[in-house]
């Protein structure tokens, strides 16, 4: 970032004082938030206002997160007349995290990292303000470093694991139990997904299920739901004819750390919507490692949730304005032609009032997907969203794979 951004911050503070006649926390903190957001942007970080801390009612003025919803740091603004040291001690004693947190009162700014104060100075000094903000956004928790390294190692190891699984499945042609269960599953896929689905598609679904089932269960923590889904249930039946016990453990041993890091970070996410975002980014990383050519061809980078929400609400507004209808109305058919991991459909399910959702879900919400793996994840994601909202599982029959 340039000193120009900091000078813009100074100008904004001056305007607040001249036009509003105040420099209290609630009046001026937006100016600092805008400046901090500019420093976050090059690091692909986002500043979220007043997000509740895990297992606490406390809400820092800002929480900095990355695309995987992992916490990078926190920011707390205080009034100019406050004794900053006293306010810092109060926040720390009340349980605010101190691995990377900024405190400021528009005059002084303090950076605490790993429980220790590492920088303190006057905010009117632009060079110092630049240094301290740069240090804040550059900090990376050991857990995040571990996660990043696990993803990199996963990308290195996954091609060999996929090839080993393909050979293993080819050898199961001698296994009568496998052949019987695969044929049953194939018939389910012909009826539920696409009558033209091939043996190649079935094999790839088996591999993708083996590699992603633990991720999905880890993120959502609901294996019972996973067993209720007809595709997941039938896949597991086929896989259990050959991929169990030591075979499973030994095959997946090299990427076990990847699953462990996902499990650890997913355990810190309580909101279901945040879990959906987390799963989407994990999936993007997974698919690019599993099938890099396919990821490039299909454009496996999905629409941000904020844009999805805007598009759903805008469509509902335009429907009413021009046609006198709403998305929830009967005979308003909804189609997502390339659903990916189901983000648009899950948002629509959340948007439609409960009293209209049962019939809408069953008859008037449809989606297609070009690739098997996102189809499978979207199916699970959509059914889970419906179950969370309606408190009852409902098999989703409106999704089709155009393989």
pLDDT at position 222:
57
- Rounded mean pLDDT of 248-255? 88
Q: Between residues 261 and 136, which one has the greater pLDDT?
A: 136
Segment 390-394 long-range contacts (CB within 8 Å, at least 24 positions apart): 390/354, 390/357, 390/358, 393/225, 393/228, 394/358, 394/361, 394/362
- Rounded mean pLDDT of 320-344? 93
Fold of 3-140: tt1808, chain A (3.90.1570)
The pLDDT confidence band at residue 124, using thresholds 50, 70 and 90, is very high
The pLDDT confidence band at residue 166, using thresholds 50, 70 and 90, is very high
- Rounded mean pLDDT of 160-183? 94
12-53: per-residue pLDDT in tens?
A: 888 877 765 555 556 678 889 999 999 999 988 999 998 888
By the 10 Å C-beta count (0-12 exposed, 13-18 middle, 19+ buried), 231 is classed as buried
pLDDT at position 230:
73
pLDDT at position 302:
64
Sequence-distant (6+) residues with CB within 8 A of 80 are 23, 24, 105, 106, 107
Query: Which range among 138-152, 311-325, 336-350 shows the weakest confidence by mean pLDDT?
Result: 138-152
pLDDT at position 112:
96
Is residue 355's pLDDT more than 90?
yes
Is residue 336's pLDDT more than 80?
yes
pLDDT at position 229:
66
Query: Which range among 22-31, 148-157, 390-399 shows the weakest confidence by mean pLDDT?
Result: 22-31
Is residue 220's pLDDT more than 70?
no
pLDDT at position 75:
96
Is residue 84's pLDDT more than 70?
yes
pLDDT at position 375:
79
pLDDT at position 88:
93
The predicted model scores a pTM of: 0.64
* Number of C-beta neighbours around residue 301 at 10 A: 11
pLDDT at position 52:
85
Is residue 219's pLDDT more than 80?
no
* Number of C-beta neighbours around residue 131 at 10 A: 14
pLDDT at position 403:
55
Q: What does the longest C-alpha to C-alpha distance in the chain come to?
A: 82
Q: Where are the domains of the chain?
A: 3-140, 144-401
- Rounded mean pLDDT of 247-251? 90
The pLDDT confidence band at residue 225, using thresholds 50, 70 and 90, is low
Q: Between residues 239 and 152, which one has the greater pLDDT?
A: 239
- In the predicted model, what is the mean pLDDT of the chain? 85
- What is the DSSP code string of 275-337? HHHHHHHHHHHHHHHH-HHHHHHHT--PPPHHHHHHHHHHHHHHHHHHHS--TTSTT--EEES
* Number of C-beta neighbours around residue 20 at 10 A: 11
pLDDT at position 298:
47
Q: What percent of the chain has pLDDT over 90?
A: 40
* Number of continuous H segments (helices) and E segments (strands) in the chain: 17, 9
């Amino acid at each position: 970032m340039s000193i120009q951004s900091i000078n813009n911050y100074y100008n904004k503070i001056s305007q607040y004082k001249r036009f509003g006649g105040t420099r209290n926390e609630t009046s001026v903190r937006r100016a600092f938030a805008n400046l901090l957001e500019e420093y976050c942007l090059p690091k692909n970080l986002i500043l979220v206002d007043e997000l509740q801390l895990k297992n606490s009612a406390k809400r820092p003025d800002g929480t900095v997160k990355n695309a995987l919803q992992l916490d990078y740091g926190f920011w707390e603004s205080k009034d100019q007349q406050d004794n900053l040291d006293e306010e810092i001690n109060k926040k720390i004693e009340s349980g605010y995290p101190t691995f990377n947190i900024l405190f400021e009162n528009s005059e002084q700014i303090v950076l605490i990292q790993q429980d220790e104060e590492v920088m303190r100075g006057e905010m009117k000094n632009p060079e110092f303000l630049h240094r301290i903000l740069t240090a804040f956004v550059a900090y990376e928790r050991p857990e995040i470093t571990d996660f990043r390294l696990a993803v990199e190692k996963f990308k290195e190891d996954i091609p060999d694991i996929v090839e080993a699984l393909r050979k293993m499945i080819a050898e199961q042609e001698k296994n009568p139990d496998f052949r019987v269960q695969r044929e049953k599953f194939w018939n389910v896929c012909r009826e539920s997904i696409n009558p033209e689905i091939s043996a190649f598609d079935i094999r790839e679904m088996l591999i993708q299920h083996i590699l992603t089932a633990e991720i999905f269960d880890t993120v959502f923590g609901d294996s019972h739901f996973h067993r209720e889904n007809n595709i997941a249930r039938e896949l597991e039946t086929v896989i259990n004819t050959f991929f169990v016990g030591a075979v499973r453990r030994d095959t997946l041993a090299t990427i076990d750390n990847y699953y462990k890091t996902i499990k650890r970070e997913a355990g810190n996410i309580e909101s279901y919507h945040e879990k959906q975002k987390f799963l989407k980014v994990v999936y993007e990383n997974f698919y690019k490692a599993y099938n890099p050519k396919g990821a490039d061809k299909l454009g496996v980078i999905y629409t941000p949730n904020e844009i999805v929400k805007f598009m759903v609400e805008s469509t509902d507004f335009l429907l009413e304005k021009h046609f006198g209808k709403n998305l929830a109305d009967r005979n308003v058919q909804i189609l997502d032609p390339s659903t990916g991991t189901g983000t648009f459909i899950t948002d629509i399910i959340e948007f439609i009032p409960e009293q209209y959702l049962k019939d809408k879900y069953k008859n008037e919400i449809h989606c297609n997907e070009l690739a098997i793996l996102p189809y499978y994840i979207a199916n699970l994601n959509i059914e889970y969203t419906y179950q969370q909202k309606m408190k009852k599982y409902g098999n989703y029959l409106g999704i089709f794979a155009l393989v």
